[in-house]
Amino acid sequence: MKNPATSKTSTTTPCCSKVGIKRGPWTREEDELLANFIKKEGEGRWRTVPKRAGLLRCGKSCRLRWVNYLRPCVKRGRIDPDEEDLILRLHRLLGNRWSLIAGRIPGRTDNEIKNYWNTHLSKKLISQGIDPRTHKPLNLNSSCTQVAHDPNQTSNPTSQSEEPSKTYRVIATKVSENFKVASNDHQNQVVHNSQENWSNCDGLFMGLQGCHGPSNDGEACLGSGNDDTFSSFLDSLVNENFFGSQQQQQTSMIMQSIQPMGTNWDADIMSSMATIGDVDGALTNHPA
């Protein structure tokens, strides 16, 4: 454990004094206090929550407890095969972006998925001879030519050290950034339909957030309009059919749908879009 006194100086202040703060597992009474308080006051202003709720916890701890355990839409229990498959696909697409992955799996939290990955899936992949970090076959030297999930696909010899999922992640990140720009632009009619949802959803990857959204019943905040479009877009990426026979039409539709008016996709995204279906090209064109 790092010693706070010797750790790198941070410009941020601690979320609370460590003196008099309770740590460790939460008790049932604490859970009830927090849950009742949030039901009454709503989420947010976590730093002040402990004091207002009468808890001897730090705000961070309260937030974590709520998000990972107390929130009504949190699903408990084993992760079923369908969810596991989805996690694998999303991880290949997004890497260790646990919150994004969790956003696509209703009821599951980033912490739960991260734990499941570290304790189950990474070992499972290793046992199958697959590098859990790169999703490439293990023990392949720099001249490897095969991508783990598709033996027919060949990787680019010049980018052998690069994660196959890197390009996907670059695209996902960039698209999400553009999505956020669009969603925050109140004058942008293209994304106007789902403005209410966007503005109320927390998290960066709004269209991917499952139960992080504003709805009262814990349903995903995905609604009609562009969030649906983007959701479908990501689904397509996950299902690897986005760049199939409908590539051109879909790409065009997505671009038209989610590009903020007056904004141009940067060259990276356009180039990635054009080549992502071709692993060789995608990896070649995107050094980072």
Partner DNA sequence: AATCGTGTCAACCGCTAGTAA
Partner DNA sequence: CTTACTAGCGGTTGACACGAT
Regarding 37 and contact with DNA (CB under 7 A), the answer is no
Which one of the spans 116-124, 134-142, 149-157, 166-174 is the region binding DNA (CB under 7 A)?
116-124
Phi, psi of 231 (to 5 degrees): -60, -45
Regarding 197 and contact with DNA (CB under 7 A), the answer is no
Using the minimum distance from each CB to DNA, give the nearer residue, 8 or 40. 8
Q: CA separation (Å) from 10 to 3, 14, 186?
A: 13, 9, 35
Q: Label residue 210 left, alpha or beta by phi (over 0 means left) and psi (-120 to 50 means alpha).
A: alpha
Q: How many residues bind DNA (CB under 7 A)?
A: 55
**Which position has the token pair 């632009």?**
185
Helix/strand/coil percent split, the chain, to 5: 50, 5, 45
**Beta carbons of 193 and 225 less than 8 angstroms apart:** yes
Among 32, 39, 44, 157, binds DNA (CB under 7 A): 44
Q: CA separation (Å) from 140 to 109, 124, 143, 146, 282?
A: 33, 18, 7, 9, 20
Residue 116 C-beta-side C-alpha neighbours within 13 Å:
22
Q: Within positions 66 to 85, which residues make up the interface with DNA, using CB under 7 A?
A: 67-69
The two tokens of residue 225 are: 């309009």
Is the Cα torsion angle 120, 131, 203, 25 positive or negative in sign?
Answer: positive
Using the minimum distance from each CB to DNA, give the nearer residue, 13 or 161. 13
Regarding 186 and contact with DNA (CB under 7 A), the answer is no
Regarding 231 and contact with DNA (CB under 7 A), the answer is no
Which one of the spans 40-48, 85-93, 167-175, 266-274 is the region binding DNA (CB under 7 A)?
40-48
Regarding 190 and contact with DNA (CB under 7 A), the answer is no
Least distance CB 160 / DNA (angstroms) = 22
Among 97, 104, 108, 286, binds DNA (CB under 7 A): 97
Regarding 47 and contact with DNA (CB under 7 A), the answer is yes
Using the minimum distance from each CB to DNA, give the nearer residue, 184 or 247. 184
Using the minimum distance from each CB to DNA, give the nearer residue, 237 or 279. 237
**Beta carbons of 117 and 124 less than 8 angstroms apart:** no
The two tokens of residue 120 are: 């189950």
Among 36, 41, 45, 196, binds DNA (CB under 7 A): 45
The type of residue at 32 is E
Regarding 135 and contact with DNA (CB under 7 A), the answer is no
Which one of the spans 117-125, 141-149, 253-261, 271-279 is the region binding DNA (CB under 7 A)?
117-125
User: In b/e form, how buried is each residue of 235-246, taking b as 16+ CB within 10 angstroms?
Assistant: ebbbebebbeee
Binding site for DNA (CB under 7 A): 1-2, 4, 7-8, 10-15, 18, 22-26, 43-48, 57-61, 63-65, 67-69, 96-100, 110-112, 114-116, 118-120, 177, 180, 184, 202-204, 212
